[in-house]
Amino acid sequence: MTTPEVARRLVTLCREQKWEAAQRELYADDAVSIEPQETPMSPKVTTGLPNLIAKGRQFVAMVDTMHALTISEPIVAPQSFACTMALDVTFKGQPRMKMAELCVYEVKDGKIVSEQFHA
């Protein structure tokens, strides 16, 4: 897949909240995920597709109610793309909150090799 194709497909799957399907289809086996900061639910850096899938499952398990999810159209460069993601979510045992991130992805050989989230 080309970078624009990967970008469009990722946005489509994420809008449908098909997180694991997106990872299995679009991510390289050695992909890296970088968070803005380490949290109790996620380390700053996660490496390897199995670990990214586990991190995604942990996130889904923490969600009580997803009130709204908005993902922008991607902005695409030859080997990378970015989009914004806004969540209106209630995590289990937590008050309702709104979150927004800039999501930046690097693509190599038709697969996402890194994702980085900026608050």
- The Cα 10–Cα 79 span in angstroms is 15
CATH number at residue 82: 3.10.450.50
> What is the tally of structural domains in the chain?
1
Q: Can you give the pLDDT of all 119 residues of the chain as single tens digits?
A: 999 999 999 999 999 999 999 999 999 999 999 999 877 677 899 999 999 999 999 999 999 999 999 999 999 999 999 999 999 999 999 999 999 999 999 999 999 999 999 98
pTM: 0.94
- Domain extent for 95: 3-118
Give 8-13's long-range contacts (Cβ < 8 A, gap of 24+). Answer: 8/74, 10/74, 10/105, 10/112, 11/71, 11/72, 11/73, 11/74, 11/83
